[in-house]
Amino acid sequence: MKILKFTVLFLVINFGALALGSWLMDNGPISPWYANLNKAPWTPPGWIFGVAWTCIMVCFSVFMAYLYNIIPNKNITPLFLLQLVLNVSWNYVFFNKQLIFIGFIIIGLLTLTIALFPYRFKKEMGTKILLIAPYLIWLCIATSLNGYILLYN
């Protein structure tokens, strides 16, 4: 029952952050600025982003619920909050302010932050550590997309 409560809590927080990030983008993905950028050949169609982020946040919420349940004595909140701030701020910086280089730095830091989770907690989480894989894989792709835009625009 504790896992379910934590899962619901993290679902609310994570999807709230996605909503905030979407609002801060100010329609960036459909703006003329973004449409006219040279994008990587491996850039997925727009609808994939919503599907991917839904899957990522469900898995990440379950991951965080187990992590908070397994490691009640360690303070993992700062790491979680850091990824939350980086995730939301990337949307604002990249799409709203159109700062590609700063966006690249932010998404790189976000990728490193998410990579810290399996590095620090693999022993405690066991196979549940795989729940963070979709987030980490997607961030590697997203970082490459941002990097491509940085290099070719």
Closest to 133 in 3D by CA, of 81, 58, 46: 58
Q: What class, spelled out in words, does domain 2-152 have in CATH? A: mainly alpha
Sequence spans of domains, the chain: 2-152
pTM: 0.94
CB of 91 closer than 8 Å to CB of 21:
yes
pLDDT at 74 over 80: no
Query: In the prediction, which pLDDT does 73 show?
Result: 66
The per-residue pLDDT for range 99-137, each reduced to its tens digit, is 999 999 999 999 999 999 999 999 999 999 999 999 999
The per-residue pLDDT for range 16-63, each reduced to its tens digit, is 999 999 999 988 888 999 999 999 999 999 899 999 999 999 999 999
